[in-house]
Chain A
Amino acid sequence: MGMTDPRSITIPPEAEAVMRAHAEVTYPNEACGALVGTGDGVNEPWMVTSAEPAPNEFDGGHHNRYLIAPAFQVQVERSALAAGLDLIGFYHSHPEEQARPSEYDRSHAWAGYAYRVYSVHAAKVVDGNTFTLDAPEGTFVPVADLPASPQQQTES
């Protein structure tokens, strides 16, 4: 196996299912939450261990905006650190929009986090992609989704 692109992310099926279900039940509003795991997307690929759904604290219409309460982040970050993990990024859904970051997402993003975006049409997730902010350019770049297969497969 060759070198894995550090700008990649592996999401286990359980975490993916949590995010998709959250995006679908929250439709037509936006769902949001945090990604816990390891890696930084620069030196080491991101490995998600769990997705943590957050309440949408945006003071206004939730169909196209989300805001995660800082207290929620602190809580997730501390329990992640206690388990030897990190808060590595966030996810949110775009009801009736594409699974790519909006200009609003871009202007509020931080380089160093993985941002996963889901497109939800008629209460069904139809697409999901991960992006990260390229610091010097200030633009979003795609993060490769790697299949969550076991690291070591035993030959029988």
Chain B
Amino acid sequence: MAVSILIPTPLRRFAGGARSVEVEGATVDEALAALAAAHPELRDQIFEEAGGIRPFVNIFLGGDNVRTLLAGESGVPVRDGDTITLVPAIAGGSAVAAPDVTLSNEEILRYSRHLIMPEVTLEGQRKLKAAKVLCIGAGGLGSPLTLYLAAAGVGTLGVVEFDTVDLTNIQRQVLYSTSDVGRPKLEAAAERLRALNPDIAIVPHSLRLNSSNVIELFKQYDIIADGTDNFPTRYLVNDASVLTGKPNVYASIFRFDGQVSVFGANDGPCYRCLFPEPPPPGLVPSCAEGGVLGVLPGIVGSLQALEVIKLILGIGDPLIGRLAMFDALAFEVREVKIRRDPSCVVCGTNPSVTAPIDYELFCGIRGEEVELDERGIPAVSVDEFNRRRLGGEAFTLLDVREVYETEIVQIPGAITFPLSELPARLHELDTAQTYTLSCHHGTRSAQALQAMRQAGFGRLQILSGGVDAWAARIDPSLPRY
């Protein structure tokens, strides 16, 4: 039988440039053997030494892939005039764009247990070396996190910490030795991590993370790993991660329970989608108050390191949109799905938080400046407010009553900002500014305060008793209704 074999572009130079070669044969095998005989250079491109078809080459007879049928007992018969096509397999993908880093022979030996896994390989190890990870906190979670990331060969490891090693830390913070007690944590941690892996860069950041330094710092890294133990920093890290577009690998622990998730990555949700606002101060005790089983941060911080490494390598299913919860006593791992909230104030479709806010105020930590009323809401009495007003203190008083009410009576200088219009008009306000909210008696102003707090406003208080208290106590000439 006379058949024609189509030669694809990359193989033509082995066939004298021919697009198509006419051969004789009764089967596909015979036709290919005839082709190899006519063009010996082509033989090596199509056949393995043992005689089989090379991987990454498919053989089509007409429209059918006959690769797996070849070299059978009877062969694949051809008819006169059939067309056989050689098809080079085409695959690829960014899967770790090859970073411009190389590994020394010593590094190849050091990471050999990674390199021999097809999911990692030399390419993945180079990706690890090219990666820049910022760990927030070098405590219970930060210990296993930084140790494993350093051991794994993450090329640039930033650590943010400003505390000193305390004897009560040693029970779980395995980065430190008893002899480190009293030393700055950052100094002891950098020494330990450099001893563990001298081939990587340990970048100590001896600072307290705040709204003014967080953005510039995050911009220098690829991935943020949050191992903090307080809410102001957790919200700060979350918001700054979203604002800078860096994935935030989050972990937290309490007593016998741990949580891990990946926020702000690949269109996934952020921490605020899950918890729009912090719990009231004092409700959730810290490790110092509630205690923690020493091994728990070891497990949870290791899970955090695992998620960081998966993100770098681009393998497996990262915990994006999933919160893993580990109960050490029951030995249970539960998982809840988290959806991205379109109304999220940071990562939603119309975000109101476009720069870091004052997180201590947001979390109600800095209570000394603000009086709380019996409902736990920051409030100022009409007498105190009037005293400050007369003393020349600048204020922005938002009257959240409806327009038809403010026409009846209004405190001098108040801006009408009805509660019903608040959600749509929040963009007119500045999250960093202080606002005093007022209404008729103090109920709607409290609702407005909660809504504004969720939207990222930190400096808020209500005017106790509202315009009615003002009319009763400050200016009795005003009407009451």
Contact = CB atoms under 8 A, between A and B. Distances in A.
A and B physically associate: yes
Interface of A: 28, 30, 32, 40, 42, 58, 63-68, 70-71, 73-75, 77-78, 81, 86-90, 92, 94-98, 100-106, 108-113, 115
Contacts of B90: 32, 67-68, 73, 90, 108, 110
A73 B8 CA distance: 10
Contact of B87 (A70, A100, A105, A113): A70
A40 B266 CA distance: 38
A30 B122 CA distance: 23
A132 to B, nearest CB: 10
A74 B63 contact: yes
B91 A108 contact: yes
The 4 closest A-B pairs by CB, nearest first: A112-B10, A94-B94, A65-B93, A110-B10
Contacts of B89: 67, 70, 108
A105 B13 CA distance: 22
A111 B8 CA distance: 11
Contacts of B56: 108
A52 to B, nearest CB: 12
7 contacts: A58-B91, A67-B90, A70-B60, A74-B85, A98-B97, A105-B92, A113-B88
Given A71-B63, A88-B9, A66 B97 contact: no
B427 interface: no
Contacts of A65: 91-93, 95
Contacts of B11: 112
Contacts of B267: 28
Nearest to A39: B9
Interface of B: 6, 8-13, 19-20, 56, 58, 60, 63, 65, 83, 85, 87-98, 122-123, 126, 266-267, 314
A155 B16 CA distance: 42
Nearest to B315: A61
Contacts of A101: 92, 97-98
A34 B472 CA distance: 80
- Residue among B6, B88, B123 with most chain A CB within 10 A: B88
- Residue among B9, B20, B93, B314 with most chain A CB within 10 A: B93
Nearest to B64: A71
B93 A30 contact: yes
Given A28-B266, A70-B87, A108-B56, A102 B9 contact: no
A64 B93 contact: yes
B10 A113 contact: yes
A66 to B, nearest CB: 5
Contacts of B123: 102-104
Contacts of A105: 92-93
Contact of A66 (B10, B58, B93): B93
Contacts of A115: 92
A44 B63 CA distance: 30
A67 B91 contact: yes
A66 B6 CA distance: 25
Given A58-B91, A66-B91, A90-B90, A104 B9 contact: no
Contacts of A58: 91, 93
Contact of A103 (B58, B65, B87, B96): B96
Nearest to A86: B9
- Residue among A64, A75, A89, A90 with most chain B CB within 10 A: A64
B117 to A, nearest CB: 15
A102 B20 CA distance: 32
Contact of A64 (B20, B58, B96): B96
Given A81-B19, A112-B13, A102 B8 contact: no
